[in-house]
Amino acid sequence: MNKTEDSRKSNHHGQIISIRSSVVDVRFSEGLPEVYSELRTGEDDRIVIEVVNHVDEQTVRGIALMPTAGLARGAAVKDTGKTLKVPVGDKLLGRVFNVFGEAIDKKDQISDAQWRSIHQPPVELAEQSTSSEILETGIKAIDVLAPLERGGKAGLFGGAGVGKTVLLSEMIHNMATHHEGVSLFCGIGERNREAEEFYREMQEAGVLNNTIMVFGQMNEPPGARFRVGHAALTMAEYFRDDAKQDVLLLMDNIFRFIQAGQEVSGLMGRLPSRVGYQPTLGTELSELEERIGNTASGSITSVQAVYVPADDFTDPAAVHTFGHLSSSIVLSRKRASQGLYPAIDPLQSNSKMLTPPIVGKRHYQIAQTVRQTLANYEDLKDIISMLGMEELSASDRQTVNRARRLERFLTQPFFTTEQFTGKAGKLVSMEEALDGCDRILQGEFSDYSERSLYMLGKIDEAQKSQPQEQEENSEKE
């Protein structure tokens, strides 16, 4: 029965009755294709159309995922009888794909892999893991002040040139070496320059073989950009559910996913909602975000670059996105200009995981004290710039001393930047990072120069460089 139905559907043909930009209406004389069905038309059935809704008993409305140049009314349309599919499996590692699962890295196409629909339901609530676990990144500033949730979603806020790509590539490296997991980079509305640069950087850093890249580029129709996130998630779900591995999913940029949905909604003729966004904004974002999660055997942890329109955190796109995030990592241009890399702002970055029942009382207290010390230093900067350190009280001078050493200790040499800095990368466990912060707060390193705590891994490494610092100072005198 099913075989006959599949055969009928695969040979089912319709006719285009209207084309408006990427929106195509198709009439079928009998039996309508289901919503999300893949239709093909044009020369060699090259143009892909995804059914979005049913207009009447004979007409479907679809969105073209490719340019519609050359299409005309009356053209034949073939119903493939299936939804859009992408390949899954280990053969995808080290490769670059588009929304259709086609390799775009000038290497052989993936032919013998298993193909799955990009439209998958989220993990059932009963199968999700109910315990909150921390996913260690090996990056001190993140693990101490904004720990990531295993199977959670973190937002990465930062402009161009502050080290966002470097931070993402370091996370990919640490995921591959420390957790033996898989990393998946999803570029939604990426510029082709950014995609090509990221590919080369991954290759030079030696982490490409544990990474899959999926791109829906900026010049592609909104339908393709709107579905590329679903395609990437389908690939990630294979490693979580079938291979039982931890997956790090990096999405750049989640706002462009919302923007693509806004374009699709406008083309479909839907009435806009608040601030011109699509009325289905919350539903569309939830359909994507709810597929990210953890089970007893594996997890998908997502780090999403988030653009906040005009720095307005009350914008509907920002409000809906923040509702899904468990951590916020903010990159600061000011810290980058001071050479404090990674340029994570310790006062603006935060995490819902940073509570005593989850991270423990010691971690919580150290993180809060670090924040308080750095906040007090921030308040004292105006006095220091006008009157100098001499006018500060003894306790304020002690605060400044510890805050400046904490700032330098939270810097870290990365594995992915070894060829540029000449410094060997360091992976620091959460316990080692907390131990270092605690010892600085206790005043143990007050006699050490600030430079001896800059760009190192564990705090014990500072002791090795201390005698050398003293010799250099005595030579100068």
Give the catalytic positions in this structure: 164, 190-191
Determine the 3-state secondary structure of 459 from DSSP.
coil
**Distance between CA atoms of 244 and 296, rounded to whole angstroms?**
9
Query: Which residues, including other chains, have CB under 8 Å from residue 92's CB and lie 6 or more apart?
Result: 110, 113, 212, 235
DSSP state letter for 292? -
**Distance between CA atoms of 385 and 392, rounded to whole angstroms?**
11
Q: Which of 55, 49, 46, 40 is nearest to 21 (CA)?
A: 49
Q: Please, are residues 248 and 303 in contact by the beta-carbon 8 Å criterion?
A: yes
What DSSP string runs through 91-139? GGTT-EE-TTS-B-SSS----SSEEEES--PPPPGGGB--S--EE--S-
Conformational region of residue 51, where left means phi above 0, alpha means psi within -120 to 50, and beta covers everything else? beta
Q: What is the CA radius of gyration of the chain?
A: 26
Amino acid at 272: P
Alpha helices in 324-393 (DSSP H): 333-337, 356-359, 361-387
Tokens of 268: 């479909």
**Distance between CA atoms of 182 and 137, rounded to whole angstroms?**
14
Query: Which residues, including other chains, have CB under 8 Å from residue 357's CB and lie 6 or more apart?
Result: none
**What's the Cα-to-Cα distance from 249 to each of 239, 401, 441, 464, rounded to whole Å?**
11, 39, 35, 38
**Distance between CA atoms of 10 and 8, rounded to whole angstroms?**
6
**What's the Cα-to-Cα distance from 235 to each of 48, 73, 313, rounded to whole Å?**
20, 36, 32
